[in-house]
Every structure is written in C-alpha cells, then in structure tokens.
Structure 1
C-alpha cells in the first residue's frame, strides 16, 4: 500500500470488491420495498450509521468518514474510540472540519463504563478516566453526544445483579457532570445487548441527571430484553440523544421465542408508525443505523429459571413482546446477498450490503435523511 493514502485505499477496496457496494439495493436511485411507488414525504430526520455496522472492514475514522461521504449520510457514529488514530487536538479538529465541510455530523461513543460489568475493559484507565477521555474527544470533533453503555445481559444475574451495576454506573457518570455541561456534550447511555430494559435505563438517567445524561436508544436491543421496540420508544424517546436502529423478527418457539435482527424493512417493526412517534418524541435526533446480522437467539421465558435475570419484569412489557412473537415468523435472507472468496471478504461484503440496503429503505420508504 506504499504510495496510497487511506482515502485512496478505501476507495480502491470498495471498487475492487465491487458492484455489490454502493450499488443495486443500496443505491438511493434504486428504491427498495416500496413497490416503485412515489417516494414518501421527507420527514427531515438526520440519517446516518454506527460504524459497528461495517466492523469487518476494520476502518479507522478517516476511512469511515470517506465511506459516510460516499453514502451521502447526514451523520456517522464512531461507537468505539479505537477508530481514532490519535487523541491529539489537531487530528480531532481535522476530522471535525472535514466532516463539517461535507455536511456530516460526527458522533462519538465508547463501550462499557461500568467497572463492575463483565464488559468493562481498563484499556483507557479507570471508568472515570475513560469517561473523561470520551467527553474530550466528543467535544473536539464536535459531537453533541458521548455514547456508552453499562454492559450486557450477563450482568443481570452476575456481580450482584443489575441493580448493583446500575448504582455503579451512576457513580461513574456523575463524575463527568461538570465536564459534560461545560462542553455541551450529553452522555448517551445505550440499552445494550440485553443489559437494561427501557424503564430501567430511564430510571438510571433520571437518577444520574437528565440535564447531562440521555439515551442511545437501540431498537434491536429492545427485543433482547423482551420488549416491543414501539413500547420502548414511548419510554426512552423523551430521553433519546442518539440512536442505534435495526429491524427485528420475533417468532414463537416451544420454550418461548426466537429473535433475529434484520435489515430495515425485513422484520416486523411497523416503521411508519414508529417514525410518526419518533418525530414527536425525538425532535432533531439522528436516526443511526446499526445493522447487525446473524442467526436467531432463543429466549426461553416459559422456563422458570429464565426469570432470574428479570426479577422486576413488568407484565405489560412482556405482553407486547409475546404479541410480536405470536404474529411473527423467521426472516428471509435478502435477495442478492453477496458472498466473497473467504469468510472475511464475505463478512465485509454482507455488512456493507445490509447497511446500504437499509439506508435505501429508510430514504425511499420512510422519507428519512436531510437531503
């Protein structure tokens, strides 16, 4: 790669693995799943993506920004600090300036900030030091949010249970209050990988202080905590500072339900209804796609031991999820899903295909995006 800039390398890779990326189902000129009907009215909701959607590429911040420019999105969420080549001010300001010149808003995030969670990694120091770094990076690149999360579903039963971890998370978040308020960056905690139900995250935000703490509202993770994404929207929408969005399929199994994340429009979320409420509850909040594919996951809620993880579960939340399962069925693989010469190339091609198809659906069916 001697003599090639990161930008040239990114462009070359996208072209070489070709025809699949930035084409076909992903093109804004080639609408999907609207039957060729007239495009819907624009909702004027910023549309973007979380870099986890294309994690197999291993791109850094510059390469991800190149990709965001090519996709003509309004925003991009760098959801882990490892994408940055440096935390020095000139480098971060350079990213901000290049993004702003193309009309793209960079959002910044990281991983677990709960020191008692199994997911916590001391790579960036203590949880408090990690939070301080996150807020500084967010401020320098012009991000209005600092996305983070507590942990994952295992924390619901380990380390004393989810209440212990919530309390520990609040203690860490409170140490960043002055820095967050001074910089104008809102700490945006995600409902992540089965760690928190919507009402638990809302309670955490209220206790920590909603003047500087909000939510990264993840529609896919709602079904991992036995919630209908529409019901979770009603709870978390008023707190949302940013998002991580994907569709989900839920269907019945002998012991409960199976769940599988899907591309937008290929699951069973009623997205037009969702977006109507999103506009009302989340004005100005970016709709960031975090498309994650993979096989189904079982939730055996007919087994008594399952409920050890949800000692305070609410019947009305479960009822909505059970209703989804009763009306659902396994998803069908999108037509035209690409494959490569090996597992790595297949993962890269599929992740880009899934994201780009979902962006097209959001634009052509839901009317999302500012341009």
Structure 2
C-alpha cells in the first residue's frame, strides 16, 4: 500500500477513544482540523511547571497542552490540579498528561512516586482530576533493548503493570497511551503490547519522530499505529549515512524529511479529535551504528526487510549543522531562545501549510 493511499483512507478508526466534545464539535463541518498543542518538553530549557506552560500555550492560542510527566506538577494535591484545569478551561484548552516510565527494570525508571503500580495509579488520578482522557506511559530508552532478558522482558513487565491498573483506568474514563520512547520500541512491538492489554483501555501515544531511533521510517510507523492513536506528537527529522551506519537529527517542522501535511491529514481522518502536540527537540545529533555487530544485539528478531524504508530515508537526507551560541554567550539562555524559536516556527508551519489547530491565532 502506498503511503498516501493509507494516510487518506477513512476506515479503521479507533473505537471508543475518549475525545473532548469541543474537539469533535469543531470538526462537524466538511473540513476536518486537528487540535494543536504544546508538549511541555519543547521548552525544557525554561524549566517551567504546569502553570507557566498552560499560560504560554494560551498566549499562542493553542487547543491543548501535554504535561508528559508528573514532574511538571508543583503538587499532586487535588486543589492544585483543579486550579490547573480551571486555568486551561478559561483558555478553552484541554490538558493531557503522562506518568513516564512504568517498567521498574528499565535503566531510567524513577521510584520518586513509588513502584510502577503506584506511579501509574497516581497518573490515572491526575489525568482524571485535570480532565485528561489519556495518561501516557512508556518503558524507557534504547538502552533497555540491551538489558537482561532484552526488550521482550521489559514489554512483559510493562503489560503486567498496565493490566493490574486496567480496571482503575476504565473506572476513571482514562486510557493508557503507550509511547515509543528514545528507541525502546518499534511499532510492531507497541502494537502487540496494545493488543495484549486491550484496545478498550490502551492505545498509542504516537511519536513518529522517535521511530528513526529504532530504524523505522516514521511514516511506516504511522501506518502501523495510527489507527490506535489516543495522543500524538510531531517533530520533523532528517537522517543521513555515516561511517558507522547513520546519524539522525530532529528539526523544526518543515525543515526535514517528514510529510507533515500527510501526517496531519491522517490524524484528522483516522482519529478525529486527537490533538497533535508539537515536541521540538532540535539541535542535537544521534548515531544509529547499524553497521556494527554490537548494535544488532538489541534487535535479535529484526529482519532486513524491516529497515528498508529507513535505509531509503538515509539516502535522501543530508547532514545538518548544530547551532552553537556565540563565544562568551550564555549556553542556557541560548538553549531557551533556540527552543522557543523552533517551537514557534513549527506551530506557524503547521497552521499555514497543514491547516492544523482549532483556535485562530
């Protein structure tokens, strides 16, 4: 099936996805529009908490804000959470939340909020209280593919946690959005996990930008997981050949290889009402040393045909420079301004070239 043929077909909607009525009502006409939002990680250099991020998103006339981790909240007390919900409501925005990694044997798991089940329980409560239809979760990073038992063991552990909290999530009217994060999972692995947990309570936190890290063509990643999307992320990308295999770099939307209009159209037709959160992570390069034997130890079941699309992209892309501050300039201030610029540039592109966003700037 051709990429655009898939992206434009209008079947295979994810049944029973919890979508804010305002987002659906805005699409009651002939032209479908995708709600546009801020992923707080785009402005990580600011070190802002939820209140500041919501206010910034409101200033940009966005439809939603994603707080993809409990660290964004100054407090998990209901009074604070309800005040955030009220703040967002006044700006006609919706809050989406994430709990982070729920695999205790992942190298990146944090026990700040207790064990994995306690963390997820808190995430469900936060989501319900602020009005988020989703709580995003994940395993960790590509390093987990090389851990004892491999990624299959980490997947099994995550499934166990999700099933343990399944009834609580259903009672709260909240779905799990499972994210492919930092190269930990390929789309077929995320899909198998979703189906094992149950599509009544689990969907995809669709992040095609991360697909490159696990040697996938991001748009093929969309084809596999798009019908299951309950939350989504976007950032552009480029990838090029290197002596060790390949190197990739994320970019502002419109500056890379991504077919952003096709991706936005996919969301509008396949999962109407699911917001598109801009998560710009530009200005850093990451290696994919697939020509080295050790790299494949993390992908023992992956066959050559599984990376054909990725290899085609490697031939299309070209190396990009990394922007640096002028001599003597403050690095933190440079990062803050660069991140803000990349985010605003991406929002402008999506509005102008993809008709994204319900609110008018």
Is the TM-score greater than 0.5? yes
Shift of 1:331: 3.3
Secondary structure, in 3 states, of the residue corresponding to 1:274? helix
Shift of 1:338: 8.1
Shift of 1:294: 2.8
Superposed CA offset, 1:79-102 (max 9, x none): 111221221212211111221121
Superposed CA offset, 1:144-174 (max 9, x none): 1101111100000112100000000001111
- Of stretches 338-347 and 202-211 in structure 1, the one that deviates more from structure 2 is 338-347
Determine whether 1:276 maps to 2:265.
yes
Shift of 1:279: 2.7
- Of stretches 228-237 and 339-348 in structure 1, the one that deviates more from structure 2 is 339-348
Q: How far apart in 1 are the matches of 2:259 and 2:196?
A: 32
CA 1:83–1:315: 2 relative to 1, 3 Å:
same
Determine whether 1:350 maps to 2:344.
no
- Of stretches 338-347 and 95-104 in structure 1, the one that deviates more from structure 2 is 338-347
1:116–1:159 Cα contact (<8 Å) kept: no
- Of stretches 271-280 and 251-260 in structure 1, the one that deviates more from structure 2 is 271-280
- Aligned partner of 1:165 in structure 2 is 154
Q: How far apart in 2 are the matches of 1:85 and 1:124?
A: 14
- Aligned partner of 1:27 in structure 2 is none
- Aligned partner of 1:360 in structure 2 is 348
Aligned residue among 75, 85, 100 for 2:89: 100
Superposed CA RMSD: 1.8
2:32–2:269 Cα contact (<8 Å) kept: no
Superposed CA offset, 1:199-255 (max 9, x none): 100101111111111111112101011111110001110111101210110111123
- Of stretches 295-304 and 275-284 in structure 1, the one that deviates more from structure 2 is 275-284
CA 1:220–1:61: 2 relative to 1, 3 Å:
same
Aligned residues: 329
1:112–1:119 Cα contact (<8 Å) kept: yes
1:233–1:278 Cα contact (<8 Å) kept: no
2:33–2:268 Cα contact (<8 Å) kept: no
Shift of 1:116: 1.0
CA 1:241–1:338: 2 relative to 1, 3 Å:
farther
1:222–1:229 Cα contact (<8 Å) kept: yes
2:38–2:65 Cα contact (<8 Å) kept: yes
- Of stretches 89-98 and 261-270 in structure 1, the one that deviates more from structure 2 is 89-98
2:284–2:322 Cα contact (<8 Å) kept: no
Q: How far apart in 2 are the matches of 1:113 and 1:333?
A: 33
TM-score by length of 2: 0.87
2:231–2:275 Cα contact (<8 Å) kept: yes
Superposed CA offset, 1:324-369 (max 9, x none): 00111123679xx987941111111111111111111111111100
**Superposition pairs of residues 30-179 of structure 1, within 5 angstroms:** 43-179=32-168
1:262–1:331 Cα contact (<8 Å) kept: no
Determine whether 1:201 maps to 2:193.
no
2:244–2:289 Cα contact (<8 Å) kept: yes
Secondary structure, in 3 states, of the residue corresponding to 1:224? helix
- Aligned partner of 1:309 in structure 2 is 298
Shift of 1:43: 4.2
Aligned residue among 200, 222, 243 for 1:233: 222
Q: How far apart in 2 are the matches of 1:272 and 1:331?
A: 23
Q: How far apart in 1 are the matches of 2:276 and 2:157?
A: 29
Q: How far apart in 1 are the matches of 2:117 and 2:353?
A: 42
- Aligned partner of 1:15 in structure 2 is none
Could you list the runs of 5+ residues in structure 2 that have no partner in the other structure? 1-29
Shift of 1:196: 0.2
Shift of 1:305: 2.4
